[in-house]
């Protein structure tokens, strides 16, 4: 897929399609998970995954839910606490979960990816983190090294250079740094005061420690954002030279996320400004040599994501885009999501329920689903659109032994108006997303989604496409 050019940005088209939809970090989306899926189903999925002729390597996600203070825009599953004893207790339970989970997977299956997310994973003090890493290595075939992607999401407000050095010593080789916006007025409106200096210190230390990849998260659509202010943030971030930049659109869902009720609706940018903010990002990042991977992700031309996309090996998962195909994902910790074979499952989302399950010696799986044959086919189609912005119909038919036109007649009907509007081109052999359509991959993917009807998407609390 060719890199995105800034000229493909079509504000009018984006405004017309600014409506809710899933982010397709999974298909079916997490809204389709049900409580009928429990620990027994997880055990069966793990057993089946070991029986594959070529068992897939493993990817571990560890969720640390604690944060020191609430950012008002936040939609993550997190617990505000300044009590280090709570992290220590959590670690005890996490270790129990590791002890229950690891034996379900054959020991010769290597861990190729390790990601700590949250919450704020760096609330784990270095001795706790070292203890957890040791426990993971004791129970999984995990040997941190250059060929293992080991990353952590960092909050520079509570993370110093020594912490980053500790991460490097423990084998972490990538960090993801939350920034959102450097403008003081925006930071005050979202209760996240974070200086450029704090951020630079973390990133420079990671570089000095030889970390392979630094990524920065920004958000557009926050209260009190202005075009000038956001452009300055972009210039500041570009000067920090991260390898990857993710620019998420703020989803204001105060009925679902309590902290967002602290944001004044009148402070939010309107649709025109949201699109102008995104346009500024596309323009400035493009001029600085970043390529548009898709949706809200940008990366430097020499980054592994860009290369994976060029080789046709890019994947979409719960961390956004990934270079690792075909790993089974094991989620550890409260609310974490696993993707084992053709199953998705999510752990208990309340700390008390998560602890209670582990005290009873049970896996804390609360809900999930086994993908149907139809889900597997549609997931492949959505993956092609989200990662490669095209779907080769002949190759797809050969992979799934089906007649695309009859199987996806309804999808093609939904795509026809999008083709007229210039989001996709439809030819007998291929569906191709246009450069302008690459900002609306979610809208295009929705046409393949059998779980989220377009009308329903407007009724349930999903984030906006822009
Ligand atoms: S944005 Fe990050 S640091 Fe802020 S409350 Fe949410 S999880 Fe915590």
> 251 CA distance to ligand 1 centroid (A)?
14
> 200 CA distance to ligand 1 centroid (A)?
19
Q: CATH no. for residue 8? A: 1.10.10.920
CB distance 71 to ligand 1 below 6 Å: yes
Domain membership of residue 68 (yes or no) is yes
Atom 6, ligand 1: which residue's CA is nearest? 74
Which two three-digit tokens encode residue 20?
């809710």
Q: CATH no. for residue 251? A: 3.80.30.20
Atom 7, ligand 1: which residue's CA is nearest? 119
Q: Which atom of ligand 1 is nearest to the CA of 74?
A: 6
What was the pLDDT predicted at 438?
A: 86
CB distance 74 to ligand 1 below 6 Å: yes
Q: Which domain holds residue 107?
A: 30-332
CB distance 64 to ligand 1 below 6 Å: no
CB distance 118 to ligand 1 below 6 Å: yes
Domain membership of residue 397 (yes or no) is yes
390-392 and 365-370 beta bridge pairing: unpaired
CB distance 120 to ligand 1 below 6 Å: yes
Q: Same structural domain for residues 96 and 126? A: yes
Closest-CA residue to 124 (of 76, 181, 172): 172
Q: Which atom of ligand 1 is nearest to the CA of 192?
A: 4
CB distance 367 to ligand 1 below 6 Å: no
Choosing from 309, 332, 355, the residue where a domain stops is 332
Q: Which atom of ligand 1 is nearest to the CA of 70?
A: 5
Domain membership of residue 432 (yes or no) is yes
CB distance 70 to ligand 1 below 6 Å: yes
Q: Same structural domain for residues 399 and 425? A: yes
Q: Same structural domain for residues 224 and 99? A: yes
> 74 CA distance to ligand 1 centroid (A)?
6
Q: Same structural domain for residues 55 and 118? A: yes
Choosing from 305, 332, 359, the residue where a domain stops is 332
Q: What's the structural domain count of the chain?
A: 2
Return per-residue pLDDT of the chain as tens, 466 residues: 444 444 467 888 888 887 777 888 899 999 999 999 999 999 999 999 999 998 999 999 999 999 999 999 998 889 999 999 999 999 999 999 999 999 999 999 999 999 999 999 999 999 999 999 999 999 999 998 878 999 999 999 999 999 999 999 999 999 999 999 999 999 999 999 999 999 999 999 999 999 999 999 999 999 999 999 999 999 999 999 999 999 999 989 999 999 999 999 999 999 999 999 999 999 999 999 999 888 789 999 999 889 888 888 888 877 778 876 689 999 999 999 999 999 999 999 999 999 999 999 999 999 999 999 999 999 999 999 999 999 999 999 999 999 999 999 999 999 999 999 999 999 999 999 998 888 889 999 999 999 986 544 444 445 666 6
Domain membership of residue 459 (yes or no) is yes
Q: Same structural domain for residues 125 and 229? A: yes
CB distance 43 to ligand 1 below 6 Å: no
Q: Same structural domain for residues 112 and 228? A: yes
Q: Same structural domain for residues 87 and 2? A: no
Domain membership of residue 464 (yes or no) is yes
What was the pLDDT predicted at 313?
A: 81
Domain membership of residue 346 (yes or no) is no
Choosing from 280, 312, 332, the residue where a domain stops is 332
CB distance 13 to ligand 1 below 6 Å: no
- Mutational pocket test of ligand 1: of 63, 66, 67, the residue with most ligand atoms within 8 Å of the beta carbon: 67
Domain membership of residue 341 (yes or no) is no
Atom 2, ligand 1: which residue's CA is nearest? 119
Q: Same structural domain for residues 310 and 378? A: no
> 192 CA distance to ligand 1 centroid (A)?
9
Q: Same structural domain for residues 68 and 206? A: yes
Q: Same structural domain for residues 135 and 265? A: yes
Q: Same structural domain for residues 40 and 108? A: yes
What was the pLDDT predicted at 460?
A: 47
What was the pLDDT predicted at 344?
A: 97
Q: Same structural domain for residues 17 and 44? A: no
Domain membership of residue 6 (yes or no) is yes
């Amino acid at each position: 897929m060719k890199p995105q050019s800034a000229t493909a940005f079509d504000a009018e088209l984006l405004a017309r399609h600014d409506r809710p939809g899933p982010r397709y970090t999974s298909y079916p989306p997490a809204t389709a998970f049900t409580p009928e899926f429990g620990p027994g189903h997880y055990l069966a999925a793990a057993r089946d995954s070991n029986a594959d002729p070529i068992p897939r390597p493993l990817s571990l996600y560890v969720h640390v839910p604690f944060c020191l203070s609430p950012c008002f825009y936040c939609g993550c599953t997190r617990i505000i606490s300044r009590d280090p004893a709570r992290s220590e207790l959590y670690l005890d339970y996490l270790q129990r979960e590791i002890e229950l989970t690891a034996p379900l997977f054959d020991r010769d299956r290597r861990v190729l990816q390790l990601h700590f997310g949250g919450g704020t994973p760096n609330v784990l003090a270095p001795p706790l983190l070292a203890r957890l890493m040791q426990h993971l290595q004791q129970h999984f075939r995990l040997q941190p090294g250059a060929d293992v992607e080991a990353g952590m999401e960092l909050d520079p407000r509570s993370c110093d250079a020594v912490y980053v050095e500790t991460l490097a010593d423990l084998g972490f080789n990538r960090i993801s740094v939350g920034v959102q916006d450097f403008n003081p007025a925006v930071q005050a409106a979202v209760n996240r005061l974070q200086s450029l200096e704090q951020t630079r210190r973390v990133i420079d230390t990671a570089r000095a420690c030889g970390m392979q990849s630094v990524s920065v998260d920004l958000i557009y659509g926050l209260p009190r954002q202005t075009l000038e202010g956001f452009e300055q943030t972009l210039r500041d971030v570009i000067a920090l030279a991260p390898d990857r930049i993710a620019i998420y659109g703020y989803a204001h869902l105060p009925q679902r996320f309590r902290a967002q009720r602290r944001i004044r609706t009148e402070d939010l940018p309107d649709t025109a400004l949201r699109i102008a903010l995104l346009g500024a990002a596309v323009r400035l990042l493009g001029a600085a040599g970043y390529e548009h991977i898709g949706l809200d992700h940008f990366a430097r031309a020499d980054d592994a994501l860009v290369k994976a996309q060029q080789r046709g090996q890019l994947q979409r998962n719960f961390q956004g885009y990934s270079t690792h195909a075909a790993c089974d994902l094991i989620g550890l910790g409260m609310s974490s999501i696993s993707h084992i074979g053709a199953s998705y499952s999510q752990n208990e989302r309340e700390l008390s329920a998560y602890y209670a399950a582990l005290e009873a010696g049970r896996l804390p799986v609360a809900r999930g689903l086994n993908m149907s044959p139809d889900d597997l086919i549609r997931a492949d189609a959505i993956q092609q659109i989200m990662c490669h912005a095209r779907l080769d119909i002949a190759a797809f038919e050969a992979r799934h032994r089906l007649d695309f036109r009859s199987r996806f007649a309804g999808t093609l009907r939904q795509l026809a108006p999008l083709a007229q509007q210039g989001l996709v081109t439809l030819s007998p052999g291929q569906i191709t997303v246009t450069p302008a359509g690459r900002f609306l991959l979610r809208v295009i993917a929705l046409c393949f989604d059998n779980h989220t009807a377009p009308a329903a998407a407007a009724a349930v609390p999903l984030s906006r496409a822009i």
